[in-house]
Amino acid sequence: MHIEYTTEQQDNQHFYRQFAQNEVASLAQQIDETETFPFELGQKMADMGFLGALVPEEHGGKPLDLISFGLLNEELGNACSSTRSLITVHSMVTFALKRWGKKEQQKKWLPLLASGEKIGAFALSEPNIGSNAGYIETTALPDGNELVLNGRKKWITFGQIADLFLLFARQDGKAIAMLVEKETPGLTIHPIRGMMGTKGAMLAELELKDCRIPTSNMLAGLGFGIMAVAMSALDIGRYSVAWGSVGIGQACLEASLDYTQVREQFGEPLRNFQLIQQMVTNMITHVKAARLLCLQAGYTLENQQANATNDILIAKYFASKTAMEVATDAVQIHGANGCSSDYPVQRFLRDAKVMEIIEGSHQMQQIMIAKNAYVA
């Protein structure tokens, strides 16, 4: 494994950072406070090719190698976790379509998703079912050439504005994955507001009441919904969140370095105090370690190695844990200012906590990593 970026990856990272700092960072507080994602920003991301990062060129995408895709998530996560969340869920849908979709589905949807004309969202979680995805309650009953959907999906990132949902249900006791369009009769979208972190990710609850879709909207086959479609999409989601967590950690480090150089106590800059130096040292070390784990995950995923999923789990677990620890220290370093909306570290802390929950909770990552160790 190479731990140095290629020239192309370095150029990509520079471009992503410029975009994130020039186009996203200035909107981050507004996005957080209004709990609304600007349409114009989403279109700019589409124009830059970010929404087609995992879409083949033949379908209008601008495909990235997975290290560059990770760097994109880091830089957007550094500026605004809500914005990075759009890349996460949208890419989960495009990746699933690319891998499991029928040619007709790919031809219809991938160009629209790559261009940003349509936004995709991942609909797995339910009010009673979170990490226990194998026991989803939403049902899909066959009726001729249609499936009749009944149930609820909750905590759906960008569900308020998504045009296409990759949705999971049970048919004859077996899990299936399907595409459900926003305008489908019987689908009602309820906005979720008042979240603690990633407040601009426009979460929604989906209510499905005798919602009919053609059977041709299924991805893969009966029984392949969770272990095939969902798990492969979750690999991309967790990988994105891991890199986004590194971005949060890096943002906390940068904010703390700036603050400790200008803030004085007892006639000395904070940077001169040994306990502050200890906290900064831990930030630097842990963020760098998290980034290296993300690089390892990207390398194994890019090369389709058997241990890719486990490397992603490890990266997501450690990076989200690091983001929370680093954000906590960043707020502590800032003192009362760290609890004020005048400084971004309070937002970083709230967003970091979400990273420990989404795409599989902190505890579920631990369970899966340990189980994989015993299998190995």
φ, ψ of residue 263 in degrees (nearest 5): -85, 130
Which one from 126, 205, 356, 359 is the annotated catalytic residue? 359
Length of the chain: 376
Other C-beta atoms closer than 10 Å to the C-beta of 15 total 15
Q: Angle 8-71-131 (CA atoms, 0-180°, nearest 5)?
A: 145
- C-alpha 183/C-alpha 72 separation (Å) is 31
- C-alpha 337/C-alpha 270 separation (Å) is 14
Closest CA to 100 of 279, 233, 295: 233
Which are the contacts of 171, defined by CB distance < 8 A and separation ≥ 6?
139, 140, 141, 142, 147, 222
Helices (H), the chain: 7-19, 28-34, 39-47, 66-79, 81-100, 103-115, 231-262, 274-302, 308-334, 345-355, 362-375
Among this protein's residues, is 359 annotated catalytic? yes
Q: What does the DSSP assignment read for 306-317?
A: TTHHHHHHHHHH
Give me the active site residues, please.
359
